[in-house]
Structure 1
Amino acid sequence: MDFGAVLRETRGGRELPPPPAFAEPAADLAERARRALYEVADPEFPISIVDLGLVRGVEADEEAGAVTVHLTFTATACPCMDFIEWDVRQRLLELEEIRQVEIVTGWDPPWTTAAISARGRRLLRSVGVVT
């Protein structure tokens, strides 16, 4: 299945806002991977999964080119889990130094709106979503 086409359709053609501007270059592979995840949109809201608070952590083995992403979702029955995981893998594998992506899903603590970043709240308010 072409999850990319499905994701474009569910977003209704909305573009994801650009990632934040960082003052310093990423220090390591884990940080480069985390920053790349700002380009992975939540299928239901026009913000990144980082800003939505779904990314709990990123670990990297620079030598192996392996990245582990710790994700959570807004609900255990979230219908978008497969789409998001696919999008995470696709985006990270675009980075030349990444050859392997592992995704670990965690539910403790449960996701709440408190996990949304300040930037994410501003972006959501700009499209009429109150958090």
Structure 2
Amino acid sequence: MYYGQGESIVLQRDVEAIRVPDGAPVQLHKDELVTIYQALGGSYTILTEDGTMARIRADDADALGKEPPMVTGLKEGTDPETIKHNVWEILKTIYDPEIPVNIADLGLVYHVRVTPMEEGKSRVEIIMTLTAPGCGMGPIIQQDVELAVRNLSGVGQVSVEVVFDPPWSRDMMSEAAKLQLGMM
């Protein structure tokens, strides 16, 4: 894990990244020098030589010469309780690119519901928020949640709704998150 300072790396291939904080796509090129600012949950927040901050997805880690980390803590099974447990575990691997705390511990996830469907699959509904309503990375974080949950065993459908009522506040953060950010 890096935060605030990291290693400089020459990109091994062209890669599409997401510019932080506005969420716009940006093309990074092979042999470009970047510095890893944050490496959490498999994604990488990097700084380019011209000062652009961008996020590279976990499935593009090879462009940095990295392997995406394995998710630990997942249970075997496809019953609703196991799926719900696994959803919460996978949410702990998703980070805001500017904050070194996962979205579950940040208190951004308000609700997870797992409903059985036909053929042993389940529908997962997630209600979440963002730290600020105008967050340009909001759609990216929402998409990260959808993709990560959709890839869990036993999940057939995923719905992720972003709401702003109630608004997020620091009081929603876990004690561990507050401690990690020096807020205690």
Q: TM-score if structure 2 supplies the norm length? A: 0.55
CA distance in 2, matches of 1:41, 1:113: 16
Q: Which runs of 5+ in 2 are unaligned?
A: 1-15, 21-33, 43-68, 75-79
Specify the alignment match of 2:18 in structure 1.
6
- Alignment partner of 2:98: what SS? coil
Greater strand share, structure number:
2
Distance in 2 separating the partners of 1:75 and 1:28: 31
Range with bigger deviation, 111-120 or 26-35 = 26-35
Question: What is the match of residue 108 of structure 1?
Answer: 165
Moved over 3 A (4+): 16-22
Distance in 1 of aligned mates of 2:163 and 2:125: 13
Residue number in structure 2 paired with 1:50: 104
1:87-126 CA deviation, whole Å, 9 max, x = no partner? 101211221211211011222211111111111112223x
Matched residues, percent identical?
A: 26
Partners of 1:118 and 1:79 in 2: how far apart?
27
Please name the residue that 2:83 is paired with: 29
Q: Distance in 2 between matches of 1:74 and 1:46?
A: 13
Where do 5+ consecutive residues of structure 1 fail to align? Answer: none
RCO greater where, 1 or 2, for CA within 8 Å and sep 6 or more? 1
Alignment-derived partner of residue 74 in structure 1: 131
Aligned residues of 1:31 and 1:58 also touching (Cα < 8 A): no
Aligned length: 121
Whether the 8 Å CA contact 2:125–2:160 is kept in 1: the answer is yes
Give me the TM-score of the superposition, normalised by structure 1. Answer: 0.75
Match of 2:47 in 1: none
RMSD: 3.2
Q: Counterpart amino acid of 2:173?
A: I
Cα 1:87–1:98 shift into 2, 3 Å: same
Letter in 2 for 1:6: I
The structure whose Rg is larger is 2
